Amino acid sequence: MRFEVTVLGSSSAVADNHKHHSAHVLNVREQFYLIDCGEATQIQLRRYKINPLKINNIFISHLHGDHVFGLPGIISTLGFLGKRTPLNIFAPAPISKYIEYHKELFESELQYEIKVHEVDHTQHQLIYENKVMEVWTIPLRHSIASTGYLFREKNPPLNVRKESIERYELSLQEIVAIKAGSPLRLTDGQIIENDQLTYSPYTPRSYAYCSDTSASGRVAEIVSGVDLLYHEATFAEDQHTMARKTGHSTAKQAARIALKAEVKKLIIGHHSSRYKSAEPLLNEAREIFPNTLEATEGETFKIDLVSTKV
Amino acid sequence: MRFEVTVLGSSSAVADNHKHHSAHVLNVREQFYLIDCGEATQIQLRRYKINPLKINNIFISHLHGDHVFGLPGIISTLGFLGKRTPLNIFAPAPISKYIEYHKELFESELQYEIKVHEVDHTQHQLIYENKVMEVWTIPLRHSIASTGYLFREKNPPLNVRKESIERYELSLQEIVAIKAGSPLRLTDGQIIENDQLTYSPYTPRSYAYCSDTSASGRVAEIVSGVDLLYHEATFAEDQHTMARKTGHSTAKQAARIALKAEVKKLIIGHHSSRYKSAEPLLNEAREIFPNTLEATEGETFKIDLVSTKV
């Protein structure tokens, strides 16, 4: 029951030697979600042993090259590898035009369907769900339409407490009804509320990806309480004017959002190439939010399943 | 006075782990020419310490992704790095449309000019020249319009032989005329032909790049006598039917072209991912043309200047 993020790249526009542009892969119980797709993402997938055919959903934050130029390569390679199931691509406009142009010039014989979903970058809304997970947009503030993504496991089916079963001598029928959320009516007419009878077997896990963006209070509200927040930190605090001007954040601002949102862990990246080391940015962030780590290329951040067995 | 080719990548469409798609850089006396531009070419340039700003001319063989998906990244990065001089891009159609689409979606503020030159892939013709070098197209046979490129140093200015100067007691005026190609008329009316009086100070060097293509006799004629030939060798000879069907060559066919053209050295690449090692392909080629090497990523093939001082 994995829930883990592998960083394929977190460099800003002018990447340093051996570093790669933005791309993260979220593995939720062996379903893989690609978040941003900078140039060479397909090479990074190979390097970190992630089978591209396992990716059926790609989420692009915005249409700047350092977040999207790996998309044509992935699309073509999936064709070569024999993909036949649809590929969903979520991104702000003009993603439809980008994919249309790509198909016109390069994919006259593509054997699978690309389903393009243009998301409204101004809204916080549910854009994808399956049995176990939901994906929500996070409105960001950048020089062009940009959106973050919040990945959240759904609440698991309720378990009925053992002591309730024993105490009320519950029938199978009653157990099924209680698991579905019903209260229990005793023979004397007394009502036992559902939450007195049940528990959630584990806490749903969550990951939020926010890049590129100026610091935003709305982001802090939306990512409230997530297990892992990736927030861009292009600049150090002494460059906060530059950050605001270019639609980016400082490390301190990223940390303030993590603190305000009471997230469990913050990872930062997308540092300007002027910073030869991430240390000063990490130090700055940790003054505000100690549990900050660098979104180092190749690193996997695992979020363990926390059982709530009672 | 360098003339050297650095291989940034020579993988075929489905690249192996850590290998990169096609891109070669030719350095002619510190002028850099990029030939093909597979995904991650800008990263490979950084890896091998080649300043992208030194590249003013890009030659694309054909518009399959593994030869061209690095172009958008290079174009954007050159903008970030402050390029102001024009960038020439040579390629078969529809390169104009590809660049136009890219500019429409990603380069609203590009600060330098992109000069697109759609080359006729059916013709062997001069498409670029400067003081020291010429570039000619080489018609290739592939599933889409594809062209090779022949890079050839120009003949250097002639030198007048010392013994001619002494023997005929040449005046400065006569020397200038002879250097420009004139014969010498002696006082007794006798004519001494120019080639009796002069020599070329060095042999012009040449490099030919041929990928992707079926084996072609016309290619052998055009690349006749070049110092270095890169020829694709996607398959081994036992797959020659597959090679013909897909518009590719076998290692043996590449070697036969090198032999027929009497080139000095052959380098092969673009091997199908079915070959985990280049050894069988190299062995096959060397049976026909012993001076065959693998176009290994990161390797630089230098062509020394051969002085012809007399």
pLDDT 10s digits, A81-126: 999 999 999 999 999 999 999 999 999 999 999 999 999 999 999 9
Question: d(Cα A271, Cα A179) in Å, to the nearest integer?
Answer: 47
The pLDDT, as a whole number, for residue B117 is: 98
Categorize the per-residue pLDDT at B204 as very low, low, confident or very high, splitting at 50, 70 and 90.
Answer: very high
Q: Is residue B145 a contact partner of residue B247, using CB atoms and an 8 Å limit? A: no
Write phi, then psi, for B152 (nearest 5 degrees). -135, 125
Q: Report yes or no: B126 and B94 within 8 Å, Cβ to Cβ.
A: no
Closest residue to B46, CB basis, from A17, A69, A94: A17
Q: How far apart are CA A224 and CA B142, in angstroms?
A: 55
Choose among A15, A17, A80: nearest Cβ to B14.
A80
Of A203 and A13, the one with more pLDDT: A203
Catalytic residue among A16, A36, A66, A188: A66
Number of A:B CB contacts under 8 A? 78
Q: Which of A15, A39, A80 is nearest residue B13 as measured by Cβ atoms?
A: A80
CA angle A34, A38, A39 (to 5 degrees): 125
- Amino acid A99: pLDDT: 98
User: What is residue B26's predicted lDDT score, i.e. its pLDDT?
Assistant: 98
pLDDT attached to residue B13: 76
B163 vs B201: CA distance, rounded Å: 15
In chain A, what's the furthest Cα-to-Cα distance?
A: 74
Looking at residue A13, what is its pLDDT? Answer: 76
HEC profile for B43-102?
A: HHHHHCCCCHHHEEEEECCCCCHHHHCCHHHHHHHHHHCCCCCCEEEEECCCHHHHHHHH
Cβ burial, residue B81 (10 Å; 0-12/13-18/19+): exposed
Query: B212 catalytic, yes or no?
Result: no
What are the helix and strand counts (H, E) for chain B?
A: 11, 18
Tell whether B65 is within 8 A of chain A (Cβ): yes
Residue that is written with structure tokens 């006729």 in the block: B120
Query: What is the rounded distance in angstroms from the CA atom of residue B310 to the CA atom of residue B308?
Result: 6
Report the distance separating Cα A84 and Cα A78, nearest Å. Answer: 9
Whole-number pLDDT of residue B308? 79
**Residue reference for tokens 């850590």:** B18
Q: What digits encode the pLDDT tens for the residues B111-121?
A: 999 999 999 99
Within 13 A of A291's CA, how many CA atoms are on the CB side?
A: 13
Answer whether A18 sits within 8 Å of B106, measured CB to CB. Answer: no
Chain B neighbors of A70, CB-CB under 8 A: 39
Q: What is the mean pLDDT of residues B275-302?
A: 97
Q: Residue B19: what pLDDT?
A: 87
Quick check: A252 pLDDT over 90? yes
Contact B76 A94 (CB under 8 A): no
pLDDT tens digit string along A14-29?
767 678 999 999 999 9
* Dihedral angle computed from the Cα positions of residues A262, A265, A267 and A268, in that order, rounded to the nearest 10 degrees: 30
Query: B130-154 pLDDT, tens per residue?
Result: 999 999 999 999 999 999 999 999 9
Residue B148 has which token pair? 């090779």
Q: Which residue of B has its CA nearest to A77?
A: B14
Mean per-residue pLDDT for A174-195? 95
What is each CA distance from B143 to A153, B93, B212, B213, B248, in whole angstroms?
46, 14, 9, 8, 9
- The answer to whether the Cβ–Cβ distance between A14 and B76 falls below 8 Å is no
B205-224 per-position pLDDT tens digit = 999 999 999 999 999 999 99
Handedness of CA B35, B41, B43, B47 (dihedral sign): negative
Contact A65 B94 (CB under 8 A): no
pLDDT at residue A255, rounded to an integer: 98
pLDDT, tens digit (0-9, with 9 covering 90-100), for B160-199: 999 999 999 999 999 999 999 999 999 999 999 999 999 9
Q: What rounded mean pLDDT belongs to chain A?
A: 96
Give the distance from CA B179 to its chain's centroid: 29
Q: Which two tokens stand for residue B290?
A: 């012993």
> Is A48 touching B (CB cutoff 8 A)?
no
pLDDT of res. B14: 75
Q: Contact at 8 Å (CB) between B11 and B39?
A: no
Shortest Cα–Cα distance, B10 to chain A (Å): 14
Chain-chain contact of B65 with A106 (C-beta, under 8 angstroms): yes
Burial classification of residue A69, based on how many CB atoms lie within 10 Å of its CB (0-12 exposed, 13-18 middle, 19 or more buried): buried
| B18 close contact with A: CB closer than 8 A | yes
The H or E element that residue B269 is part of is: strand B265-269
Calculate the dihedral angle through the C-alpha atoms of A298, A238, A258, A218, rounding to the nearest 10 degrees.
-110
Quick check: A80 pLDDT over 80?
A: yes
Q: Which two tokens stand for residue B147?
A: 């062209």
* Percent of chain A topping pLDDT 90: 95
pLDDT at residue B12 in the model = 85
The per-residue pLDDT for A12 is 84
pLDDT in tens, A210-250: 999 999 999 999 999 999 999 999 999 999 999 999 999 99
Q: Of the residues B16, B36, B66, B195, which is catalytic?
A: B66
User: Does position A135 have pLDDT exceeding 90, yes or no?
Assistant: yes
DSSP letter assigned to residue B81? T
pLDDT tens digits, B24-62 = 999 999 999 999 999 999 999 999 999 999 999 999 999
Per-residue model confidence (pLDDT) at position B201: 93
Using CB atoms, pick whichever of B14, B20, B97 lies closest to residue A105: B97
Q: Mean pLDDT over all residues of chain B?
A: 96
Nearest to A212 by CA among A86, A121, A281, A284: A121
Give the number of other CB atoms < 10 A from CB of residue B220.
Answer: 20
Reported ipTM exceeds the 0.90 cut:
yes
d(Cα B156, Cα A285) in Å, to the nearest integer?
A: 61
Cα–Cα nearest to B140, from B252, B88, B64: B64
Q: How far is CA A203 from the centre of its chain?
A: 17
